[in-house]
Amino acid sequence: MFIHLTFLLSLIFILISLKVQLINSLIMQQPFPPLKNDRLIRVAKGLKTDKLPVWIMRQAGRYLPEFQELRREYSFFEICQTPKLACEATLMPLKRFNLDAAIIFSDILVIPQALGMTVEMQPGVGPVLPKPLTIENMKMLQVQGAVSRLQYVGDAITTTRYALKGEVPLFGFSGAPWTLMGYMIEGGGSKTMSKAKKWLYCHPEASKQLLDILTEVITEFLLLQIEHGAQIVQVFDSSAEYLNRQLYFKYCLPYLRKIAYNVKRRIRDTKMDVPLVIFAKGAHFCLEEMESLGYDVVGIDWTLDPEKVGNLFRDKNVTLQGNLDPCALYAPKEELIKMTMQMIKQFGTDRLIVNLGHGIYPDADVEAVKTFVDAVHAIELK
């Protein structure tokens, strides 16, 4: 009787799965609406446009009253994991501002979750992983099937692509190997990332093993997002700032290069042409190396001087993205416009995607975001 019930349940499950797959493939067969505003994609590929494209890291987040409203009903990860809700959050900033891109509402810590780690989003604290990774429990990571457990991100992207109606391109994204390693070992944010760095100094082999696993999962995750409709993807190495040139050369650059190489190779086979973006916050010590990693766009954090970076990358085959200080959004309107104009002048308008130099802060003024976006679009390119 027990065996029969199990068999029956399995059969029902298989049938449901088949049905879901069928519906999915039917959806996938229906082509996505054609892209109307292709400014950002063109500039990422080094082509000319009428105006500079602009978007904002974390644009679909805590500074928006309507997102706070949504958060009163659902937890952070409920929104991530429910395609309809993730789509809703993704579209929120586009209803307010004349942005040139959407970015799927998600989080870099969905990968540690898919690997079997618990991630909680604690109010006022940020992400907390109550059982951090240790050398001893590292083998517990559930690598097998991790990417398929991230199917919900793919689904959210597909849903959002249709909902966007081709208005602007949709970003997919992932955390970089070192950044994810940092959170997994520290059990959350840290002022120094010293526990994770301790691995780099004391356990180089285990570190490389972990970074290899993450590189593999990130590659497949980016491909999953691209297959499901992401038109550009960004890799966030938000914790680059905790390392120096030596460590970054050893434990970051090879993995970032491998991700770009493998994603590019695999999408070439499918004849898709999706630009890749790398944003390594605080990697001032490895700025020059970012150019040759295989990414089309290099994100620049706000601590870097646009003039210096502009000169450094002039005539190189990459687009720059950045880098207004998120705190500049606190400034009076006229001052904000002045700073935006000055930054663009210093970068130079060739191959530039305008953005902040870090994710927008929760207390940012919504009106200031509008001022910033409109100021960028006021510039007519020859």
Binding site for a second copy (CB under 8 A): 189, 191-192, 194, 197-198, 200-202, 241, 243-245, 247, 282, 284-285, 302-305, 325-328, 330-332, 335, 357, 361, 363
Is the Cβ of residue 75 or residue 244 nearer to a second copy in the bound state? 244
Residue 255 and residue 358: Cα distance in Å, rounded?
A: 22
**Look-up of token digits 């429990």:** 137
Q: Which token pair is 117?
A: 């780690």
Supply the minimum distance, in Å, between the C-beta of residue 205 and a second copy: 13
> DSSP strand E in the chain: where?
102-103, 120-122, 126-128, 170-175, 232-237, 276-280, 297-299, 319-324, 352-356
User: Which token pair is 350?
Assistant: 């060739």
Catalytic sites, residue numbers: 58, 62, 71, 107, 183
CB of 366 to a second copy, least distance (A): 16
Residue nearer to a second copy on the CB measure, 71 or 197: 197
Query: Do residues 93 and 160 lie in contact, with contact meaning Cβ atoms separated by under 8 Å?
Result: no
Q: How far is the CB of 116 from a second copy (least distance, A)?
A: 27
Shortest separation between residue 291's beta carbon and a second copy, angstroms: 17
Q: What is the DSSP string of 156-223?
A: HHHHHHHHHTTSS-EEEEEE-HHHHHHHHHHTB--SS-HHHHHHHHH-HHHHHHHHHHHHHHHHHHHH
Q: Which is nearer to a second copy, 10 or 244 (CB)?
A: 244
CA distance linking residue 289 with residue 311, whole number of Å: 15
Which residue matches tokens 């780099």? 200
The Cα–Cα gap between 178 and 239 comes to 7
DSSP 3-state of 155 = helix
Query: From the CB of 312, what's the least distance to a second copy, in Å?
Result: 13
For residues 213 and 131, what is the distance between their CA atoms, to the nearest angstrom?
19
Residue placing its CB nearer to a second copy in the complex, 15 or 202: 202
DSSP 349: S
**What is the rounded CA–CA span in Å between residue 363 and residue 359?**
12
Tally the C-alpha atoms within 13 A of residue 380's C-alpha that lie toward its C-beta. 1
Q: Which amino acid is at 155?
A: D
Query: From the CB of 246, what's the least distance to a second copy, in Å?
Result: 8
Q: How far is the CB of 244 from a second copy (least distance, A)?
A: 5
Angle at 354 between CA 350 and CA 358, to 5 degrees: 135
Residue with tokens 């966030």, as numbered in its chain: 236
